Structure 1
C-alpha cells in the first residue's frame, strides 16, 4: 500500500501539498483571527466534539448547508471527496458509495452498504427520504465500516441526517429559488410552541424544473417535479424526559433521465431498416454524451412514500434511556415506455415496487461517566417488499415489434454470411422469410405478448450491542464494542406470460456456437425476461459476531491520535430479478465479512484557526457482494476478496477574519484482490464458464484520487454581510461501469460552483451557479437495455451501450427570509 500511496501523491502533489503549504504561509502572515467553531457530532450515539471522536467523520451544519446551497446528497458530495453519489433512471435508484464501496441502487432487494439514517431511523432504500433536504440541522458522514452502533449492514459507512428539533420559540423561514430551465423551488419551515412544554415544527419543500434532456422522437426527459413535507411534535413531559413524533411524506411525478444510447453498427442497420419501411423514426447523432436521446416515449416515474418516527429520551439518576420506533412505506412505479431505447414502439417495462418496514431500537447509557462510559442496546428490523403486479403485465411487446423482429432477422442473416456490409434488400427478404417460417424464433415475439413477474421478500433482523470507553489515563482512552447480528430472509419469484405463439426455447437448447458463433436462436424478449421455469421460493439466515477496538491518545491539547481495528458483517440475500436464473446456485449470494484497520489524527492548530484531520486505512471484504448490469437484468454474486487501501486529508483554515479555506483529498487503491466469477463486458472472452476473472483489477466507481477546494469570503456591508464562495471538485481517472467495460474509462474532470450573496439576520439573497464550466462527465454507464442482447445474438462486433451523464451548467437566484 505504501508504494502506491507514494506514487499517487507524487503525481498529485501539487493539489495536496501546495494547499497545505499555502495555509501554513497564510497563518504566519495574518494577525489574530477568530477561532474555528466547535463541531458537535453524535457519531458514537453521544454528543461529542468531532475532534474527540476516533472515527473519520465529516460534519456539515445548518449554516454550511445554507452557504453551500446543498439541496440534495449529490450537492453534498462536493464537500466530501470520498462520497460518490450516482443516480441513473430515477432518484429512487440513487446509490451512495463511501471510500469506493457501495451498491447499485437499481436492485431493490440489495441492501445498501452505506447506511442512511434520518433522525436515527434506518432507511431501507437509499432513494427514500432525501429527494429534498427539508429543515436539516446537520449531516454527518462516517467513513468506513460502523458495525457496532450502526449494525444494519453498514459495511462502507453511514450518512446520518439530523433535522431541526421543535423548540420553545416561535420562528420560521421561507426560501424561494428561480433558475435556468425554468427551475422553481420553494422551501419553508415554521416552529410553533403550543404550550410551555409542547412544540410543533413543520417543513415543506417543492421543486419543479423543465426537462433538460432532449428527445427527438418524443417528450423530453430529466425534469423535476417533487414535494416533501415533514411535521414534528415534541413534548417535554418533565425536566429529564421528552417524546418526539416525526412524520414525513414525499411525492414525485416526472419524466426522468433516459439512458443516452450508443448504437452498434449492427443496431444502426436494424433501425435504418425499420425506418425505410415505416417512414418515421429520425435518428439522433449516435453520441452517448450529447444529452440527446431517441425514444418514442419518455421514462415516467411516480413515487409516494411516508415514514413515521417516535423517539423517547429519559434521564434517570445515572442512566439515560433512549427508545426509537419507526415505520415507513412506499410505492414507486417506473414506466419504461420504450425500454428498447429506440424511436419505435417495441417493448414496454412497468417496474412496480412497494414496501413497508418497521424497526425498534432501545439504548441504555450511563450519564455519570468519569473513567468508564458505556452504551448497550438492541435493534430489531422487519420489512416486506413486493416487485411486480400480477394484474398488469410488467413486459409487453408493442406495435412495432414485428418490424423490429424482421429487421433483426435480416441483420442475423447478414452477419451469418460474414458480410455485414452486404446489400440490405437480400437480407430483408431473408428476414421476412425467417419471420414467416419461424415466428418468434429468433425474432422478438408478437405485438400484445405479455410477461408477468412477482417477486417478494421478507427480512427480519436482530442485533444486540455493547459499546464502552475506558479512560486508561488522563490522555489515553480505550474504546471497545461488540455486536451480535442475526438476519433471516424469505423470498419468492413467479413468472407468467400471455403469448400469441409460445415458441420459447429453453436457453441454449439449440447451441449454434460451434458452427455459427451464436449462443442460441432464442431472442424472444418475453421468453428471455419471464421464463416459466424460473419460479423460485427460498429462505435462509445468517449471523455473526462483530466488534471494534480503538485506542485514543491525546499527546497534547487539541490533538488526537487514534488506531482502530474492527470487523463488520452484511447478511446474504437473493437475486429477485427477472430473466433466467438456475435456482439457489444463481439466486442466492453469501454473506459478506469485513476487516478494517485505521490510524488517524485530528488536530487544531494556530490558536484553533486551523483544523487538520487525516486517516490512513486498509479494509478487506471477504465474499464481497458485487452487482453488475448485464443488459436485461442486474446480477449479484460474491467476489472472494476486495481490498481498499487509502488515505484521507481534511483541513479547514480561518486565513483571515473574512476568509475561510477548506481542502479535502482522498487517495484510494480499491481493487478486486480475488474475483473468479467477475462480469464479462461485451468484447471480453469468458475464462471461467460465463464469467471473467477480475483478479487485481480496480473496482468501478472508485477514482484513485479525488479532492475539493472551497474558499468563502465574508465582508461586512450595509448592516449585513456580503459573501462569496467558490467550490472546486476534482475527480481522477475512474470507471463508472459495473461490467468494467474499458470503453467507459473516464479521464479526470473538475466541477466548479460559485455563489455571491448578501445577508443579515432576517434576509438573504444569493446568485449561484453550478458546474460553471459546463463539464460533461459520466455518472454511470452500462450495456443497452435490450440492444446489447440483440447485438450478442446477431453476432455484432460491438455491443450497444448507454450512459448517464452529470447535471449540466445551471444558475439561479435564491431569496431567504427569516423570522
Structure 2
C-alpha cells in the first residue's frame, strides 16, 4: 500500500511540474474552442460576476462538469479537487468540520461556530454540519481561502465554501441518473426544468441514495440490533420557481427538504491502553468486547448500543434582484431565508461491547437549529468604480440535548479498576452508587442575534491599477439557558468524596476520576439551571491593491481582518478541586461554573499574489504567499474523560498557494490542480498548555498538513459522429498531520494519496452516458479522526498517555456504474 502511495505522490508532483512548462512559450492550437479558455471561468467571490483572473483573492473554482466527473455530491467530496481544504466527520455525520490552510473549528460542540463558512445560494449555514448533505444540481463551487470577513455573512475567519446550484431554465430539460455500486449502493436522482410561461420557469430535483455500512459490528450482548455502521440512506428534494416579470426584475424562490436515517459512527480500536488492567477488565466483563490486538482497517468495530442518526434539513429562500434605473442601473438584491435543521443521535460512548456509557436515539441527544436571515445589498458600477453597500441580519435558535446514560456494566468496570489500583478497599462499594440506567439530562437553549453593515468598493485609478476597500461592522448577542439534571443523583461521587483512602491515594486518582471527576457523575450538577449572555461588537474588513502588468499578468497585495464570534461551551464545566467535598466555606471546593463563555477568534491576514494566463488564455497559473495571525483561536478537546473548551492565544498559518488550470493543445485533454504549503503552528499555548501532550513532536496545529496537492485530468474523445468517450482521474496528496487536538503523537495520520477514477461512454450530445467509477481506487487506509476512548485512560497533561485510542475511519475503495439520461 505504501509503495503505491509513494508512486502516486510522485505522479501528482510530476504532473504538476509538467503543467507549468507551457508557460514559457507553448502556444495553443488555432483549433482551440472559445469554451476552452481561462476567460470563461466566472466567480462571484466579490458578490458580482467576474473573471477568476480579475479577483484579488485565492479562489479555487470548480465547474459543473468537473464536479460531476469527480463524483462530488457533498462538501466532503470536494477535498479531492481543492488543495488546502480538509473536511472530517467524527461522532456522527452531522459533526462535520471544514478546514482551510490548517485552520478550522475543533471538536464536537455546537456552541462553537465554524471558522470556514458554508454559503449555499447566498444563504449562510450556521455550522459546517448543517451544510453537509446532497448538494443536488450544481453550477459551480468556489472555495475562497483566507478570512472573508466583509461579504459572506459571519464567522469566516478561515475561508468560505460558496455553493451555487443550477437555476431554473426557460428551455425544457430533464435528467435522470441511476447508480449501482458495491456495498449495496443504489442511487437515483432526477430533475426537470422548463417554462410555465414566458416569464415563469421552474426546476425540481429529487434524489434517493442508499448504501450498506463500511463497518461490520460486533454487538456482544446487545441490545443493538444493527450489524453494520457508517451506512447511507437519505432522500432529498429541491424545488425552485423563477419569475422574470421584466428585464429589470428577477425573483427566485427555493424550497428544499432532506431526510437521513442512518447509523454512524462506531470507531475501531487503534491503540490499546498501556494500563494492563483496563483491557483485561473489559475482556473479563464481556469476552471479545474489543479488538485485541487492534486491526482498525479490518473494518470491524465493537458496539452494543445503537448509533442510529436521524437528520432532517429543510428550508426556503427568496432571492430578488432588481435593476434600478433611477440609481443609474444599480442592482438591489434581497435574500430572505428560513432554515430548520434537526438531528437525533444514538451513541455507544465507550466503543466496546461492555455496557459502560451510552446515549439513546430517542430525541434526548441531538441538536436543532432554526435560523431566519435577511440580507440586502445595493451594488452599482461605473467606469472607475464598482461599489456595494449592504446589511445582514440573522436570528438563530439552537436547542441542544445531551443525555448520557450509565450502562449496566459501569459499576463493575469502575469497581474493578479501583480494586486493581488499591491493595485494600476500606469498604465494599455498593452497585446502587452507580445504577444502570441512571443518566444526566442536560438541555441548552441558545438564541443568537447578529446584524452587520458592510461595504465593498473597487476603485480603478487606471486600466492597470485598482484598489479594493471593504469594511464590516458586526453586532452579535447570545443568550443561553442551561439546565442540568442528574437522574442518578450523583450518589456515587458524593460517597467516594467521604472516603479519604480513595481521595488521597495518588495511585487511584485517574480511576477515582471515572466515578467522580467527570462532570456527569458530580452531584453538584443536580437540578441546576442558570442563564448567561454575551454581546460583541467587531470591525472586520479588507484592503487590496491590484496591478495588471499586462492583459495576462495581475499581481495584488491584500490585508484582511477576520472574525469568528465567541460563545458558550455547551457542556458541563466545574471550578475548584473535584477531589474535595463541596463546602461553601472552602473556596477550593468544586462548584458549578456558571460562566462557560469563551472569547471571539480574530485574525490578521496578509497576502501577496499573482494571477497569470498563458498560451492564448488556455493556461492559468496563480500563486499567493500568505501569513495569517490568529488571536484566541478556539479549541475544544476531549481528554478521555470530558470536553474542555479553551483558547490558544496565538496561532500562525503561513505558506504558499498555487492553482493551475490548463486546456492543453490536445483539445481533448485538460488539467486542473494545485498545491498548498501551510505551516500552521501554535505560537502561544497560554493556559491551554495543560491539555497538550508534553511528548508532542512539534507545535503544528492538529489537522494541519504542511503539504497538500490535487490534480484532476479530464480526457474527452469523440468516437465517430455520434459517440463520446470521457475519462477523468483525480488525485489528492496530503503530508502527515496530527488528528488529535492535544497533539498526542499516537494520533498521527501518515502522508497519503487518494485517487478517484471515472470512465464514461455515451452519445456525443450527452442524451445518454454510462460511466464506470471508483473512489479511493488504491484502497488507501486513512483516519478522519483519532481520539481518546471514553474512560479507558487519559492523555490530558501528565507525562505518559494511558488512554486507548479509537479512530473514525476514512472511506474504503468503492466502485460502481452510473447511467445518465437527458431529455
Note closer, same or farther for the CA distance 1:533–1:79 as it changes in structure 2 (3 Å cut).
same
Give the counterpart of 2:407 among 398, 403, 408.
398
Contact 1:467-1:482 at 8 Å conserved across structures: yes
Please state whether the residue corresponding to 1:340 is helix, strand or coil: coil
**What is residue 9 of structure 1 aligned with on the other side?**
none
Contact 1:175-1:188 at 8 Å conserved across structures: yes
Normalised TM-score (structure 1): 0.89
Q: How does 1:177-192 map to 2 (within 5 A)?
A: 177-192=179-194
Give the counterpart of 1:408 among 405, 414, 433.
414
Q: How does 1:216-235 map to 2 (within 5 A)?
A: 216-217=218-219, 219-235=227-243
Range with bigger deviation, 274-283 or 467-476:
274-283
- Corresponding position: 1:554 with 2:556: no
Please state whether the residue corresponding to 2:16 is helix, strand or coil: helix
CA distance in 2, matches of 1:279, 1:777: 28
Note closer, same or farther for the CA distance 1:525–1:287 as it changes in structure 2 (3 Å cut).
farther
CA distance in 1, matches of 2:503, 2:694: 19
Contact 2:344-2:366 at 8 Å conserved across structures: yes
Contact 1:496-1:530 at 8 Å conserved across structures: no
Contact 2:459-2:468 at 8 Å conserved across structures: yes
**What is residue 603 of structure 1 aligned with on the other side?**
612
**What is residue 332 of structure 1 aligned with on the other side?**
343
- Corresponding position: 1:388 with 2:398: no
**What is residue 470 of structure 2 aligned with on the other side?**
481
Please state whether the residue corresponding to 2:486 is helix, strand or coil: strand
Please state whether the residue corresponding to 1:804 is helix, strand or coil: strand
Note closer, same or farther for the CA distance 1:113–1:265 as it changes in structure 2 (3 Å cut).
closer
Contact 1:92-1:105 at 8 Å conserved across structures: no
The offset of 1:282, in angstroms, is 7.3
Q: How does 1:358-369 map to 2 (within 5 A)?
A: 358-367=372-381, 369=382
CA distance in 1, matches of 2:124, 2:670: 34
**Gaps (5+ residues) in structure 1?**
1-11, 418-429, 686-693
The offset of 1:22, in angstroms, is 5.2
Give the counterpart of 2:777 among 769, 772, 791.
772
CA distance in 1, matches of 2:798, 2:157: 42
CA distance in 2, matches of 1:530, 1:203: 49
CA distance in 2, matches of 1:775, 1:469: 46
- Corresponding position: 1:302 with 2:310: yes
Give the counterpart of 1:41 among 37, 40, 43.
43
**What is residue 292 of structure 1 aligned with on the other side?**
300
- Corresponding position: 1:722 with 2:725: yes
Contact 1:681-1:741 at 8 Å conserved across structures: no
Contact 1:507-1:520 at 8 Å conserved across structures: no
Contact 1:579-1:632 at 8 Å conserved across structures: no
**What is residue 359 of structure 2 aligned with on the other side?**
349
Contact 1:112-1:154 at 8 Å conserved across structures: yes
Note closer, same or farther for the CA distance 1:505–1:586 as it changes in structure 2 (3 Å cut).
farther
**What is residue 545 of structure 1 aligned with on the other side?**
539
Contact 2:492-2:521 at 8 Å conserved across structures: no
Note closer, same or farther for the CA distance 1:615–1:16 as it changes in structure 2 (3 Å cut).
farther
The offset of 1:740, in angstroms, is 0.9
Alignment length, in residue pairs? 773
The offset of 1:704, in angstroms, is 0.4
Contact 1:82-1:99 at 8 Å conserved across structures: yes
The offset of 1:407, in angstroms, is 4.0
- Corresponding position: 1:123 with 2:120: no
The offset of 1:805, in angstroms, is 1.6
CA distance in 2, matches of 1:252, 1:71: 15
- Corresponding position: 1:375 with 2:388: yes
Note closer, same or farther for the CA distance 1:134–1:270 as it changes in structure 2 (3 Å cut).
same
The offset of 1:676, in angstroms, is 1.7
Note closer, same or farther for the CA distance 1:818–1:662 as it changes in structure 2 (3 Å cut).
same
Q: Could you report, residue by residue, the CA deviation over 1:215-264 in whole angstroms, capped at 9, with x for unpaired residues?
A: 12262211001111111111112220021111111111111121222464
Give the counterpart of 1:623 among 626, 632, 639.
632
CA distance in 2, matches of 1:795, 1:140: 45
The offset of 1:205, in angstroms, is 1.8
Contact 1:439-1:503 at 8 Å conserved across structures: no
**What is residue 807 of structure 1 aligned with on the other side?**
811
Q: Could you report, residue by residue, the CA deviation over 1:747-767 in whole angstroms, capped at 9, with x for unpaired residues?
A: 211112111111332112110
CA distance in 2, matches of 1:112, 1:407: 37
The offset of 1:172, in angstroms, is 1.1
CA distance in 1, matches of 2:797, 2:653: 37
Contact 2:157-2:562 at 8 Å conserved across structures: yes
**What is residue 425 of structure 1 aligned with on the other side?**
none
Range with bigger deviation, 480-489 or 583-592:
583-592
Q: How does 1:674-685 map to 2 (within 5 A)?
A: 674-678=684-688, 680=690, 684=694
Note closer, same or farther for the CA distance 1:222–1:552 as it changes in structure 2 (3 Å cut).
same
CA distance in 1, matches of 2:797, 2:283: 21
Range with bigger deviation, 633-642 or 182-191:
633-642
CA distance in 1, matches of 2:627, 2:742: 25
The offset of 1:89, in angstroms, is 2.4
Give the counterpart of 1:731 among 711, 730, 734.
734
Q: Could you report, residue by residue, the CA deviation over 1:703-758 in whole angstroms, capped at 9, with x for unpaired residues?
A: 00111222221111141221222222111021111121111122211112111111
Contact 1:497-1:526 at 8 Å conserved across structures: no
**What is residue 253 of structure 1 aligned with on the other side?**
261
Range with bigger deviation, 469-478 or 252-261:
252-261
Contact 1:260-1:293 at 8 Å conserved across structures: yes
Give the counterpart of 1:701 among 700, 703, 723.
703
CA RMSD of the aligned region, Å? 2.9
Q: How does 1:492-503 map to 2 (within 5 A)?
A: 492-499=481-488, 502-503=491-492
CA distance in 2, matches of 1:515, 1:230: 59
Note closer, same or farther for the CA distance 1:242–1:408 as it changes in structure 2 (3 Å cut).
same
CA distance in 2, matches of 1:384, 1:187: 32
The offset of 1:373, in angstroms, is 1.5
CA distance in 2, matches of 1:553, 1:500: 68
The offset of 1:179, in angstroms, is 0.6
Q: How does 1:413-452 map to 2 (within 5 A)?
A: 413-416=419-422, 436-437=428-429, 439=431, 445-452=434-441
Note closer, same or farther for the CA distance 1:778–1:273 as it changes in structure 2 (3 Å cut).
closer
The offset of 1:682, in angstroms, is 8.4
Range with bigger deviation, 99-108 or 156-165:
99-108
The offset of 1:500, in angstroms, is 7.5
Contact 1:327-1:356 at 8 Å conserved across structures: yes
Normalised TM-score (structure 2): 0.88
**What is residue 660 of structure 1 aligned with on the other side?**
670
Give the counterpart of 1:24 among 12, 21, 32.
21
Please state whether the residue corresponding to 1:101 is helix, strand or coil: coil
Contact 2:706-2:735 at 8 Å conserved across structures: yes
Q: Could you report, residue by residue, the CA deviation over 1:477-530 in whole angstroms, capped at 9, with x for unpaired residues?
A: 111011111111111221112227723239988684675362573533797316
Range with bigger deviation, 579-588 or 118-127:
579-588
Please state whether the residue corresponding to 1:448 is helix, strand or coil: coil
**What is residue 515 of structure 2 aligned with on the other side?**
524
Contact 1:329-1:354 at 8 Å conserved across structures: yes
Please state whether the residue corresponding to 2:416 is helix, strand or coil: helix
Note closer, same or farther for the CA distance 1:414–1:796 as it changes in structure 2 (3 Å cut).
farther
